[in-house]
Amino acid sequence: MRLVTLTLNPAIDQTVALDALNPGSVHRARSVWADAGGKGVNVACCLADWGLPVSVTGVLGQDNAAPFAQLLAAKGIDDRFVRIPGETRTNLKLLDAASGDTTDINLPGLEFGPSTVEAVWAVLVDLTGPGSLAVLAGSLPRSLGPDAYARLTAELKRRGTRVVLDASGPALAAALAAGRDGLPDAIKPNRHELEEWAKRPLPTFADVLDAARECQRAGVALVCVSLGAEGALFVASEGALRALPPPTRVASTVGAGDALVAGLVAGLHDDLSLPDLARRALAFAAGKLSRTGANLPGRAEVEAIAAEICVEEIS
């Protein structure tokens, strides 16, 4: 099975570690580092750490593309990004060392026209087809309409490609409003993103479950809702499960959701049962929490984490 991730709005993530984040105060940073990233890039990095061959595409600014090229080469990832003039955006992440929480400040990305979109589509056509799996992840540039993922999903599915979508807001709403033949095969919203789509608060687990089941009944084969420290919810035709992580030392929460998506993809790649897929997905996320950047521990450690994950069937 060929795996490819799409990142239309990548970023260099500059993380500043603080003793504690106190809004309105002057802070002295413990440390600072930068990671080439973006959701699809992060997913690909975790898949590569697991040992799966993966290709990446999307749009990079050629003026600061070197960190991406270096990262992808180091991970052995097939770099199929389209380069255009300009700089890829830099996002700021403030890591509160006391709580492990991260505050994100995301900047606007590159803007580009139809010719760049056509170039990216040409790469996707080359990389996908029957039996392949594509991950469409992250925010959309302002130059693209909110239906961009919906249109790409429909085209990819016509090519026999399964699609995993990790998007939010209008982009997610547009994708889920597509006809049944154009819906993504799997989605991974968090609670807030699911609330945005449902247009109502989801304060309880039962509320989250109801909204996830709405998505699944609409035609999305697998719905995974990330719930942070409360684990994740998995809803599919064979049932609903809640997976709870073991106690985990948190080095950084940055990219944990992307690792969860990578675990889903790795599980789909191996055609795992829903309980085993839930364990693998959550083990990827928990393993990444112990690392900074989009990095997994070794396969044996991830498998050990998976064995400790409690999976509860929901009637």
Catalytically annotated residues: 258
CA distance 263 to 265: 5
> What is the SS3 assignment for 240?
strand
CA gap 197, 173 in Å, rounded? 6
Beta strands in the chain (DSSP E): 3-7, 11-18, 29-37, 55-61, 78-79, 82-84, 90-96, 102-105, 133-137, 162-166, 186-187, 222-226, 232-236, 239-244, 310-314
| Identity at 99, one-letter amino acid code | S
Closest C-alpha to 183, from 145, 224, 129, 220: 220
DSSP-assigned letter for residue 311: E
List CB contacts of 91: < 8 A, sequence separation 6 or more.
11, 12, 13, 14, 104, 105, 106, 107
Strand order from edge to edge, sheet including 11-18: 29-37, 11-18, 90-96, 102-105
Helix H or strand E segment including 277: helix 274-289
Q: How far, in Å, CA of 37 to CA of 60, rounded?
A: 11
Task: Give the Cα separation of 191 and 30 in Å (integer).
Answer: 31
| Spatial separation of the C-alpha atoms in residues 12 and 109, rounded to whole Å | 11
